[in-house]
Structure 1
Amino acid sequence: PITSIHGDLVGETNLNFNADYNQEVDVLFLCLSHGESKKLLSEATFHETTHIIDLGNDFRLGDSVYGREFVYGLPEFQREKITSAKNIANPGCFATAIQLGLLPLAKAGLLKSVHTTGITGSTGAGQKLQDTTHFTWRANNISPYKTLTHQHLGEIQQTLRALQPAFADSVHFIPWRGDFTRGIFVTSVLESNLSLAEANQLYKDFYTSHPFTHVAESMIDMKQVVNTNKCLLYLEKVGNQLVIHSAIDNLVKGASGQAIQNMNLIFGFDETLGLKLKPIVF
């Protein structure tokens, strides 16, 4: 039974796992380790009408398999393209949080060299047992990792340059491991001539039609978004430096929730269907 692995579903479902592929399903979600989605699709055949939404990183940079092309599934970036897509490459969790903090500037051609830090919970490392996900190591501890080399940088640069082709600078990103289970909090800093009022208006105008990304009027915190598909943004201006804070749940807007959002768009459902979730504030 599914509940043997997902204990939180006890009393919610009697479904069982099945090792047989239904090759004619309407939609297939792939939640596999990096490299495994491409391998599976190379070995298993699914009907050409089946929509595939891959939550791994195999297709985020434009790779295809047996003629299946994948559209990068960040709705705030290219919602219209997603609605007509056959297959979706779901963005990474850090990539989602960072891009949502920078898209309005890129669209306006105002993006310059960016310095970004971001902290994520232990669930961002997946289920594989590692020293750095063990409770005794993680509790009361933080540490940086993959300094300036994180695997999500490729998809971030790809999106930003699609909006601002002249963007020749880099996103200098240092990720951190946090002593909590879920959530991401990112802060990006760059030089800008915009006033704080102008920057806030730019962001509010950009996200006005997007139901899950909101510009807050006061400082945000991570608990405001955990267990939701929301991204909250808060902007500050210090001298000529624009500071953009963004927060998401790495498991929802950074993974499964965004996958459902993409499915809703593909099938013409309400974009928020099944995703009106309350945050776990306390």
Structure 2
Amino acid sequence: MTTIKTAIIGGAGYTGGELVRLLIHHPHVEIAYIHSNSQKNKPVTSTHPDLLGETDLLFTDAVQTEGIQAVFLALPHGETKSFLDTHPFAEDTIIIDLSTDFRDESHDFVYGLPEINLTTIQQAKKIANPGCFATGIQLALAPAISKGWVKDTIHVSGITGSTGAGKKLADTSHFSYRTNNLSVYKLFTHQHLKEIRQTFKHLDPSFGGEILFVPYRGNFTRGIWITAYFPFEGSEEEAIQTYQEFYKDAAFTFVSVQDIDLKQVINTNKCILHVQKEGGMLVIYSAIDNLLKGAAGQAIQNFNIALGFSQQTGLQLKSIAF
């Protein structure tokens, strides 16, 4: 069996922890080391105690580049570029970055949204993993955009769990703020809108509509729920058929004809969509786990694609269901 010598850079955070949890059970991965400046020389289980009995690895602040065949970068936004400038990996190393640093087209990274860029990812050595909100919104709207159905403004709301804010403490991620609470942030200006517009322009070069996105902080830990809608003259049946056809070969994105809920996707790499027409509007609901399909799970999906493994390898997970 082929084994890929793999490094995780930034393994102490929420996303880094999810990468560790998945990769230690991936049949084609040998974890060479897990990097963390803040937790160096400490057992990985001291930060991720749920892994007790599953790994004896220690965090290290040393960066080994020689012999590494794949590296996952789970560093804070804005730090990845300088890290790679200081620690260049071999040209044939698969590099998957989970930050915002390389998602725009001014860089030589491929945008890693498999449902849209599968063929390009298959040939890529450098992959920019999409943002969590960006993943949920793009998958909700990609079929409609590709058909040219969106003529003007798209209204989108999205609610995310507290893990989306990262592990560092902040007033708005503190338990006493989040619990029994709801709030809006970055109204119409969220940083993921840039990569969303970039994808939509590829799907429909004439697209120039406004994306009015209202992001909410949720009072739960993980998951993203997106609601998107726009005026639509076609029928609900046409829309459902179009969405099902668009995602017929997708490994993890599914269109449900029944109402959906967030727990269907938590702890999985799935995106589940539901499409309906109401009041002259086409309404799409999209649900993902922000730490998996929105981050670590999708990164491993991209790793599998780039290395020619089945997309489901290491990602056959079960939802919490209830």
In the superposition, the TM-score normalised over structure 2's length comes to: 0.85
- Correspondence for 2:86: 43
Residue 279 of structure 1 pairs with residue 322 of structure 2: no
Could you list the per-position Cα deviations for residues 185-239 of structure 1 after superposition, in whole angstroms to 9, with x for gaps in the alignment? Answer: 0000101112000000000000000020011111111011000000000011112
- Correspondence for 2:257: 217
In structure 2, the residue corresponding to 1:88 is in which secondary structure? strand
Could you list the per-position Cα deviations for residues 7-26 of structure 1 after superposition, in whole angstroms to 9, with x for gaps in the alignment? Answer: 11111111112222221311
Aligned mate of 1:163, from 192, 199, 203: 203
In structure 1, the residue corresponding to 2:45 is in which secondary structure? helix
- Correspondence for 1:20: 62
- Correspondence for 1:60: 103
The one-letter code matched in structure 2 to 1:76 is: E
Q: Is the 8 A contact 1:157 1:170 kept in 2?
A: no
- Correspondence for 1:3: 45
Please identify runs of 4+ aligned residues in structure 1 that moved more than 2 A.
none
* Residue 39 (structure 1) shift: 1.2
Structure-1 separation of matches of 2:88 and 2:200: 34
The one-letter code matched in structure 2 to 1:272 is: Q
- Correspondence for 1:243: 283
Could you list the per-position Cα deviations for residues 229-253 of structure 1 after superposition, in whole angstroms to 9, with x for gaps in the alignment? Answer: 0000001111210000000000000
Could you list the per-position Cα deviations for residues 109-166 of structure 1 after superposition, in whole angstroms to 9, with x for gaps in the alignment? Answer: 2223210000000000001110111101100000000000000000000000111010
- Correspondence for 2:40: none
In structure 2, the residue corresponding to 1:158 is in which secondary structure? helix
Matches within 5 A, 1:63-212: 63-64=106-107, 69-112=108-151, 113-212=153-252
In structure 2, the residue corresponding to 1:237 is in which secondary structure? strand
Aligned mate of 2:308, from 257, 268, 274: 268
* Residue 73 (structure 1) shift: 0.1
Q: Is the 8 A contact 1:119 1:184 kept in 2?
A: yes
The one-letter code matched in structure 1 to 2:48 is: H
Structure-1 separation of matches of 2:71 and 2:308: 17
In structure 1, the residue corresponding to 2:294 is in which secondary structure? helix
Q: Which runs of 5+ in 2 are unaligned?
A: 1-42
Aligned mate of 2:266, from 205, 226, 236: 226
What is the alpha-carbon root mean square deviation over aligned residues? 0.9
Identity, in percent, stands at 54
* Residue 45 (structure 1) shift: 1.8
In the superposition, the TM-score normalised over structure 1's length comes to: 0.97
The one-letter code matched in structure 1 to 2:126 is: N
Structure-2 separation of matches of 1:72 and 1:111: 23
Structure-2 separation of matches of 1:86 and 1:109: 32
- Correspondence for 2:73: 30
